Amino acid sequence: MVGEPDNPSESTEAPESRAATLLRPTLKRPERPDRDEPARPKGQVRPIEERYLLRVDSQIKRSFSSKEPAVTTGAKIKKAYPVVVVTVVDTHEHTTEIINA
């Protein structure tokens, strides 16, 4: 090869450092038989959506299992920020209710 000297005695490295690198143990990755696939980062896991979705300006913010907490939370948001459009979407019946507070 071009970068290697023809004679090993002409090497630019000290013989002690070459011997030290040869004596180092080989690094190995620990075996993990209990894990089949690597864990996904928390932000990339799809959230579990429940029946009622709370939307603020067409962006889903949270999901609820019943309608009452979704409506009360939407009313609080609408009261604090009257300019935004707050809706509650029923994913089973495919209906949308606009919150006016």
Q: Which of 24-33, 69-78, 89-98 has the lowest mean pLDDT?
A: 24-33
Report the predicted TM-score, pTM, of the whole model to 2 decimal places.
0.55
User: What distance in Å separates the CA atoms of residue 79 and residue 59, rounded to the nearest whole number?
Assistant: 18
pLDDT band, residue 23 (cuts 50/70/90): confident
Task: Note the pLDDT tens digit of each residue in 44-82.
Answer: 667 778 999 999 999 999 999 999 999 999 999 999 999
Dump the DSSP string for the chain: --SS-SSGGG-SS-HHHHHHHHHSPPP-PPP-TT-SSPPPPGGGSPPPP-SEEEEETTEEEEEESSHHHHHHHHHHHHHH-TTS-EEEEETTTTEEEEE--
